[in-house]
A and B are shown apart, each in its own frame.
Chain A
Amino acid sequence: MISNAISIMIAVPLIGAVLAFLTRSRGQARLVALIASLVPLALALQMYTEFDKSSKLMQFVESYDWVPSIGVRYTVGVDCISFPLVLLTAIVSVLVVIYAWGENHRPNQFFALLLLNEVGVLGVFTALDFFLFYIFWEIVLIPMFFLIGIWGGPRKDYSAIKFFIYTHVASLVMLLAIFAMYFTYRLPDGSRTFDMLTLLQATADKSIFPPSLINAIFAGLLFGFLVKMPAFPFHTWLPDAHVEAPTAGSVVLAALLLKMGGYGIFRVILPMLPHVDKAFVTVIAVIGVLSIIYGAFLALAQKDIKKLVAYSSISHMGFVTLGAVAFTWLSIQGAMFQQFSHGIITCALFMSAGTIQHSVGTRIISELGGLADRMPKFASLMLAAFLASLGLPGMSGFVAEFMVLTGSYPTFPVYTLLVVFTSVGVTAGYHLWACQKVLFGPILKKYLDIHDPHAYELLAMSAIVFLTLLFGLQPALITDMMGTAANQVMEPVVTLSQMGVI
């Protein structure tokens, strides 16, 4: 195995970003982007073959002194919680580059920003030092700001600035919580550390972290992650950002950036959950349930297909929140799988919306109809994506949501049933309704001369649909890791009932 695999994984897209920025033509820029994003994918696949799925320990760890005077180290590594997301990032980044192959508006900057984004996201998922983690967490905002702002729709200025400020404020609240941990805890030799695992372990010590402090820290971190997810009622930046962003930007945003919030929940929130006020459990669960139901109903009301997908993201990410905090082995596993699965499916959804926009010129559902007639290949892929998203058995979305709901029932029977009886029907409804309106029925006259999109767009979408089926039929490829991760999270406490929550 290549040593320093993770560092290489982060460094290659970074170098690629600089090179792509300096290129003069679209051909060069996209080639650089493709190569620079294929390297992390190759490394991730190589790591997958060597990854010990049954181990609860960090693997591929690298650690170097960085700013020793204040206890900052460059520490990266992956375990069963983070590795699936690293894999997801590597896959999605390549597919996004392929999908955006035809971008001709300032292509060098566009591909450079996509790569920079990959750097940030990979960094977030692998960093094991809070200082480093925060840096990557913030780096991500910059490419996204420009992706929305330069390539976005009519209200791009407003959306880009809103996105940046909203999520940056949330990050700062998170940073305050990180500060609080850093400033409270000392290593046995009296020095300070930003090491995530050490600090998280330390939060269990009531003599160092009194209840009021730990609750405040927890609330700060939780806020940072819920905004990023985004969960109701902190979701308002998302529809703006999504609607205005270019397709590739929306894909990255939904497939990767939202996962950072979910990752924070698993990496940071769950290990602290047993030590904080038990009321938090209920609050988080309610937020999750509201996100699921509210997101679904909002999606139902949308006229713009991209907005529909954006709100459906809020709904689907609610499953992550609910499953995580239900805190059973199955629900945690399901929530983690939902992160992965939604990351893939949402790519196809946003690509569908984007392709419709490129080919037809509008995304307003009422102005569309019968596209399947002229775009049969695209239509089948879009239909597959929408079916995956609504949770059709045999596809990854079903497995994930099924696991969350089954796993959450013992903990929150009422909430779970509420979700099942309200949102599941609505979700199926708006997905099918959108597909029916857009794809089927008689072709409108004005669309007689449209045709199937470019091969690269179809290639990216097909790859995703394939992955959706692959993980839907053979979830063990990745759920093995999540099972271990769930064990790892639950090991110290086992269940909420043993924690005294329910």
Chain B
Amino acid sequence: MDLGHYAPLGAEALLTAVSLLVVLVGLFTKGRSSLPGYLSLAALVVAMWMVLTAETGTVFFYDSLRVDGFSQFFKAVFILVSLLVVIASLTRYNGRVGGDEYFALLLMATVGMMVVASAIDLVSLFIGFELASLSTYAMAGFDKTKKNLEAAMKYFLYGAASSAFMLFGFSMLYGMTGSTKIADIAGASLAQFNPAILLALIFVIVGFAFKMALVPFHMWAPDTYEGAPALVSALLAAGSKKMGFAAAFRVILIALLALKLEWYMAFAILAAVTMTVGNLVACWQNNVRRILAYSSIAQAGYISIAFVVLGVASEGMTGPNNLPLDQYALAGGLLLVLGHAIMKTGAFISTAQVASIAKNTEDPDDISNYAGLGRRAPVTAFCMTIFMFALAGIPPTAGYFGKFVVFGSAIYGGLVWLAVLAILNSALSLYYYLRIISYMYLREPAGPKVSESKGYVLSLLLALIGTFWIGVLPDGFFNWAMQAAAALLP
């Protein structure tokens, strides 16, 4: 066997090996070593480098994984999120009993997400999904508080149900086409419409919609993000949710291209409802993590606009500078994914910082605990403020640029109503983001100044740099996203 051939999968191999190693280290040091955290950190850094430099365009394991620009983009996003979470977790979990398991699970979840990003076969896709999901189910209940366990249980039940939907849809596709390979399914004549195909499409979309937390399949997200440990919520909202998009882009765009008309309608409705409901409900919340959860749902709605545009984009439609419209829209979706991953991770890590300050209060995530945070924890408050503005789409940040491309692509695609709705939603979202900011800066602090955890601060600052980097110098990221989109589209 030629091992060199498998070099592009080196990052996955490395992370898998290190996750096992971390468990071993924990075993021999009775879980009290601080090695697991640093090992994971180093592994992720190396993995990031390997992903970014990997040779693209090759397929592995009997056409079930494909390393291309598209998978590279998503893998980079996943590793980035994990990296930020690991840095923040160093103070919280490293060197404590169980810490080794935490880092091992985190690495495995990352591997699972990376497998999903490269999967071109429904079976490997499903395996990746389950690997990531099972790891994160365990992480959601990690601190074993009552809230944790409830969150984990909800997440698990909904996750299992969505997997079942997805799997059922997959099995129908397999039954009709005789293959689990995405390329084969696309090649089979699905265009001959029959009710079974429609049913398969519905099941697949419902399965993915659960993972992406699109309304009305979003119910689990606020409860889970609220109840899980804050750092795990960061991983869930910023990482594993994006896994749903990685899979959906590939399966729906490639395998089910023939059913474009049907899924275009479905996503138009899902996108419109998701962003509106997400934003409206967020305005009512008093728990910051729930606000972030609903904002995350709303953001999923914005990203879904890319599907709608891809549905209407026909041959020859172009965006700015004669870029093909489908590629432009997908690139916009990818930019939103990247931007949202960074901003949301930062936001959730900020809530973790606040929760650690307010741990003795009844609800540490209640917005009242944010009063005067600007003076109690200035760095956290400052970063959180930037993330809030960025999520609201205020320039010059990642949030603005991503929205600019996606909303613009909707206008190019003739979906002006959707673009207008999205922009109105953006304005609406400002209300609850400003509310958090106003608590942090406009209210009197409830306690004295506290020392901010170094791990959190480092991770927040990295996210902050990312947020501005994409916003101020978007060209490189845009070109990267365009290449990633080109790799996926035919």
A interface with B by C-beta (< 8 Å): 66-71, 134-135, 138-139, 141-142, 145-146, 149-150, 156-157, 160-161, 164-165, 168-169, 172, 175-176, 179-180, 182-183, 190-192
Q: Which residues of A contact B426 (CB under 8 A)?
A: 172
With A66-B475, A192-B320 as contacts: A183 and B395 at CB distance below 8 Å: no
Inter-chain CA distance A67–B420, complex, in Å, is: 24
Inter-chain CA distance A164–B479, complex, in Å, is: 33
Q: Which residues of B contact A134 (CB under 8 A)?
A: 395
With A169-B427, A183-B408 as contacts: A150 and B441 at CB distance below 8 Å: yes
Instruction: Jot down 14 A-B pairs with beta carbons below 8 A, ordered by A.
Output: A69-B475, A70-B321, A70-B405, A135-B400, A138-B394, A139-B395, A145-B437, A165-B427, A165-B430, A175-B423, A179-B411, A179-B419, A191-B320, A192-B320
Task: Decide if A135 touches B442 in the complex (CB within 8 Å).
Answer: no
With A70-B321, A138-B395 as contacts: A156 and B442 at CB distance below 8 Å: yes
Kindly state whether residue B10 has any CB partner on chain A within 8 Å: no
Task: Decide if B434 touches A161 in the complex (CB within 8 Å).
Answer: yes
Within the complex, what minimum Cβ distance (angstroms) separates B160 from chain A? 41
Task: Decide if B408 touches A179 in the complex (CB within 8 Å).
Answer: yes
Task: Decide if A191 touches B438 in the complex (CB within 8 Å).
Answer: no
Known: A69-B321, A176-B423. 10 other contacts (CB 8 A): A70-B408, A70-B478, A135-B395, A135-B400, A139-B396, A149-B438, A157-B442, A164-B434, A172-B423, A191-B322
Q: Which residues of B contact A161 (CB under 8 A)?
A: 431, 434-435, 438
- Per-residue A-contact encoding for B130-149, CB less than 8 Å = 1, 0 else: 00000000000000000000
B: interface residue count bin:
20 to 34
Inter-chain CA distance A68–B478, complex, in Å, is: 10
Inter-chain CA distance A71–B408, complex, in Å, is: 13
Interface centre among A66, A70, A182 (most CB of B within 10 A): A70
Inter-chain CA distance A447–B479, complex, in Å, is: 67
Kindly state whether residue B288 has any CB partner on chain A within 8 Å: no
Q: Which residues of A contact B323 (CB under 8 A)?
A: 69
Q: Which residues of B contact A182 (CB under 8 A)?
A: 320, 408
Residue of chain A at shortest CB distance from B433: A164
> Across chains A and B, which 6 residue pairs bring their CB atoms closest together, nearest first?
A192-B320, A135-B395, A149-B442, A191-B321, A169-B427, A67-B475
Within the complex, what minimum Cβ distance (angstroms) separates A490 from chain B? 33
Q: Which residues of A contact B400 (CB under 8 A)?
A: 135
CB proximity to A under 8 Å, residues B454-490: 474-475, 478-479, 482
With A168-B430, A183-B411 as contacts: A68 and B475 at CB distance below 8 Å: yes
Q: Which of the residues A69, A149, A191 comes within 8 Å of B441, measured between beta carbons?
A: A149
Inter-chain CA distance A57–B412, complex, in Å, is: 33
Q: Which residues of B contact A172 (CB under 8 A)?
A: 423-424, 426-427
Q: Which residues of B contact A139 (CB under 8 A)?
A: 395-396
Task: Decide if B427 touches A168 in the complex (CB within 8 Å).
Answer: yes
Q: Which residues of B contact A180 (CB under 8 A)?
A: 411
With A149-B442, A183-B411 as contacts: A71 and B321 at CB distance below 8 Å: yes
Inter-chain CA distance A68–B405, complex, in Å, is: 14
Interface centre among B396, B405, B407 (most CB of A within 10 A): B396
Residue of chain A at shortest CB distance from B405: A70
Inter-chain CA distance A138–B389, complex, in Å, is: 11
Inter-chain CA distance A169–B394, complex, in Å, is: 12
Q: Which of the residues B423, B437, B478 comes within 8 Å of A67, measured between beta carbons?
A: B478
CB proximity to A under 8 Å, residues B362-417: 389, 394-396, 400, 405, 407-408, 411-412
Task: Decide if B321 touches A192 in the complex (CB within 8 Å).
Answer: yes
CB proximity to A under 8 Å, residues B310-347: 320-323
Inter-chain CA distance A67–B400, complex, in Å, is: 14
Within the complex, what minimum Cβ distance (angstroms) separates B259 from chain A? 29
Inter-chain CA distance A180–B322, complex, in Å, is: 17
Residue of chain A at shortest CB distance from B438: A157
Inter-chain CA distance A194–B419, complex, in Å, is: 19
Q: Which residues of A contact B320 (CB under 8 A)?
A: 69-71, 182-183, 191-192
Inter-chain CA distance A180–B419, complex, in Å, is: 11
Inter-chain CA distance A231–B291, complex, in Å, is: 35
Within the complex, what minimum Cβ distance (angstroms) separates A209 from chain B? 15
Q: Which residues of A contact B479 (CB under 8 A)?
A: 69
Inter-chain CA distance A357–B432, complex, in Å, is: 33
Residue of chain A at shortest CB distance from B412: A183
Within the complex, what minimum Cβ distance (angstroms) separates A239 from chain B? 19
Q: Which residues of A contact B408 (CB under 8 A)?
A: 70, 179, 182-183
Task: Decide if A146 touches B441 in the complex (CB within 8 Å).
Answer: yes
Q: Which residues of A contact B321 (CB under 8 A)?
A: 69-71, 190-192
Inter-chain CA distance A161–B433, complex, in Å, is: 10
Q: Which residues of B contact A138 (CB under 8 A)?
A: 394-395
Inter-chain CA distance A69–B328, complex, in Å, is: 11
Q: Which residues of B contact A183 (CB under 8 A)?
A: 320, 408, 411-412
Inter-chain CA distance A90–B307, complex, in Å, is: 47
Within the complex, what minimum Cβ distance (angstroms) separates A171 from chain B? 9
Within the complex, what minimum Cβ distance (angstroms) separates A129 from chain B? 13
Inter-chain CA distance A377–B423, complex, in Å, is: 51
Q: Which residues of B contact A145 (CB under 8 A)?
A: 434, 437
Within the complex, what minimum Cβ distance (angstroms) separates B291 from chain A? 15
Residue of chain B at shortest CB distance from A171: B427
With A69-B475, A69-B478 as contacts: A165 and B431 at CB distance below 8 Å: yes
Inter-chain CA distance A134–B419, complex, in Å, is: 18
Within the complex, what minimum Cβ distance (angstroms) separates B218 from chain A? 25
Q: Which residues of B contact A165 (CB under 8 A)?
A: 427, 430-431, 434
Task: Decide if A176 touches B395 in the complex (CB within 8 Å).
Answer: no
Inter-chain CA distance A145–B392, complex, in Å, is: 15
Within the complex, what minimum Cβ distance (angstroms) separates B438 from chain A? 5
Within the complex, what minimum Cβ distance (angstroms) separates B204 from chain A? 33
Q: Which residues of B contact A176 (CB under 8 A)?
A: 419-420, 423
Within the complex, what minimum Cβ distance (angstroms) separates B21 from chain A? 42
Inter-chain CA distance A139–B419, complex, in Å, is: 23
Inter-chain CA distance A149–B396, complex, in Å, is: 22
Q: Which residues of B contact A141 (CB under 8 A)?
A: 394
Inter-chain CA distance A149–B443, complex, in Å, is: 9
CB proximity to A under 8 Å, residues B101-126: none
Inter-chain CA distance A190–B319, complex, in Å, is: 11
Q: Which residues of B contact A150 (CB under 8 A)?
A: 441-442
Within the complex, what minimum Cβ distance (angstroms) separates A319 from chain B? 30
Task: Decide if A160 touches B442 in the complex (CB within 8 Å).
Answer: yes
Q: Which residues of A contact B441 (CB under 8 A)?
A: 146, 149-150
Q: Which residues of A contact B443 (CB under 8 A)?
A: 157
Q: Which residues of A contact B419 (CB under 8 A)?
A: 176, 179
Within the complex, what minimum Cβ distance (angstroms) separates B366 from chain A? 17
Residue of chain A at shortest CB distance from B323: A69
Q: Which residues of A contact B407 (CB under 8 A)?
A: 179
Q: Which residues of A contact B389 (CB under 8 A)?
A: 142
Inter-chain CA distance A149–B374, complex, in Å, is: 13
Q: Which residues of A contact B478 (CB under 8 A)?
A: 67, 69-70
Inter-chain CA distance A175–B419, complex, in Å, is: 12
Within the complex, what minimum Cβ distance (angstroms) separates B323 from chain A? 8
Residue of chain B at shortest CB distance from A191: B321
Inter-chain CA distance A297–B262, complex, in Å, is: 59
Within the complex, what minimum Cβ distance (angstroms) separates B393 from chain A? 9
Inter-chain CA distance A181–B321, complex, in Å, is: 15
Within the complex, what minimum Cβ distance (angstroms) separates B464 from chain A? 13
Inter-chain CA distance A182–B408, complex, in Å, is: 10
Within the complex, what minimum Cβ distance (angstroms) separates A164 from chain B? 6
Inter-chain CA distance A70–B408, complex, in Å, is: 11
Task: Decide if A190 touches B394 in the complex (CB within 8 Å).
Answer: no
Q: Which residues of A contact B434 (CB under 8 A)?
A: 145, 160-161, 164-165
Inter-chain CA distance A158–B478, complex, in Å, is: 38
Within the complex, what minimum Cβ distance (angstroms) separates A165 from chain B? 6
Inter-chain CA distance A69–B408, complex, in Å, is: 14
Inter-chain CA distance A344–B424, complex, in Å, is: 36
Inter-chain CA distance A165–B321, complex, in Å, is: 33
- Per-residue A-contact encoding for B143-168, CB less than 8 Å = 1, 0 else: 00000000000000000000000000
Inter-chain CA distance A350–B407, complex, in Å, is: 41
Q: Which residues of B contact A69 (CB under 8 A)?
A: 320-321, 323, 475, 478-479, 482
